[in-house]
């Protein structure tokens, strides 16, 4: 199976995971990226079984709407029973690096409001230690150089993601060559830098369930 087929397999598995629990008043939290897109596509035929969705990006909101799924503001919803999203890296503790698609802040906000975070990822995303994938940090534009200097002091090689503006109007710095021995501590440390909106470590609130696509089938890790 190639990577796209593995992504499709975990999207199918996520549908199986949530389908029995869909109710007329259910509002789902929906992530961003190619794996999340495959999940969104599979939600289309089920749209009459639940109320709608909260999206973690404008792109996901548009995709949901095109399938006839109602999209709600998070402020009008409160909690969501499930948040379903991909990851750039995930470890055995279900800590993740996310934000390859620059949607990390809204992803983290919707995830914070979810009772269960279901991570869907192909096997290449499963790593013994986070950090090979460059860690994204969303910054207020005027703070970019200051934040970059602080990230150097933490041991990272920060690179400005040129030409990218987040849905919140901010910029992204990617941290290369970064050893992340303690994801929970590093998430808090980076978020404490003035000018950082959030960083792509999802460790304080990791996933509750990982559906991992492998050649031999989808492994469920919880």
Q: Is 64 in the site for ligand 5RP (CB under 6 A)?
A: no
Report d(CA 218, CA 212) in Å as an integer: 5
User: What string of H, E and C letters represents the secondary structure of 2-52?
Assistant: CHHHHHHHHHHHHHHHHHHHCCCCCEEEECCCHHHHHHHHHHHHHHHHCCE
How many residues bind to ligand 5RP according to rule CB under 6 A? 17
Structure tokens at 19: 């389908």
Q: Is 213 in the site for ligand 5RP (CB under 6 A)?
A: no
Q: Is 86 in the site for ligand 5RP (CB under 6 A)?
A: yes
Q: Is 103 in the site for ligand 5RP (CB under 6 A)?
A: yes
Alpha helices in 32-168 (DSSP H): 34-43, 58-66, 104-112, 144-153
Assess contact for 161 and 171: CB atoms under 8 A: yes
CB-wise, 100 or 158, nearer to ligand 5RP? 100
Q: How far is the CB of 24 from ligand 5RP (least distance, A)?
A: 28
Q: Is 190 in the site for ligand 5RP (CB under 6 A)?
A: no
Find the angle CA(220)-CA(88)-CA(132) to the nearest 5 degrees. 115
Assess contact for 168 and 106: CB atoms under 8 A: yes
- Candidates 63-71, 79-87, 159-167, 191-199; binding stretch for ligand 5RP (CB under 6 A): 79-87
CB-wise, 58 or 145, nearer to ligand 5RP? 58
Structure tokens at 67: 């399938």
Per-residue binding letters, 5-34, with ligand 5RP (x by CB under 6 A): --------------------------xxxx
Instruction: Catalytic residue, from 23, 62, 73, 107: name it.
Output: 107
- Candidates 84-92, 145-153, 157-165, 204-212; binding stretch for ligand 5RP (CB under 6 A): 84-92
What distance lies between CA 75 and its chain's CA centroid?
19
The three-class DSSP label of residue 191 is helix
CB-wise, 108 or 144, nearer to ligand 5RP? 108
If one counts every other C-beta atom within 10 angstroms of the C-beta of residue 71, the result is: 16
Residue 107 annotated among the catalytic residues of the structure = yes
- Candidates 61-69, 94-102, 190-198, 209-217; binding stretch for ligand 5RP (CB under 6 A): 94-102
Active site residues: 107
The footprint of ligand 5RP (CB under 6 A) covers 31-35, 85-88, 98-104, 107
């Amino acid at each position: 199976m190639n990577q796209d087929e593995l992504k499709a397999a975990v999207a199918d598995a996520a549908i199986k995971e949530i389908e029995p629990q869909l109710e007329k008043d259910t509002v789902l939290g929906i992530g961003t990226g190619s794996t999340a897109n495959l999940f969104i596509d599979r939600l289309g035929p089920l749209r009459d079984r639940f109320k709608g969705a909260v999206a973690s990006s404008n792109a996901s909101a548009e995709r949901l709407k095109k399938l006839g799924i109602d999209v709600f503001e998070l402020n009008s919803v409160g909690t969501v029973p499930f948040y379903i999203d991909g990851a750039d890296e995930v470890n055995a503790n279900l800590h993740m690096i996310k934000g390859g698609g620059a949607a990390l802040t809204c992803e983290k906000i919707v995830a914070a409001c979810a009772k269960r975070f279901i991570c869907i990822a192909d096997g290449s995303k499963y790593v013994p230690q986070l950090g090979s994938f460059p860690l994204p940090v969303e910054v207020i534009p005027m703070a970019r150089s200051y934040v970059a200097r602080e990230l150097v002091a933490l041991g990272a090689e920060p690179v400005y993601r040129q030409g990218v503006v987040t849905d919140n109007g901010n910029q992204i710095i990617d941290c290369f060559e970064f050893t992340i021995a303690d994801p929970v501590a590093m998430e808090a440390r980076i978020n404490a830098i003035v000018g950082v909106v959030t960083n792509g470590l999802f460790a304080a609130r990791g996933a509750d369930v990982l559906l991992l696509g492998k050649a031999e089938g989808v492994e469920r890790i919880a």
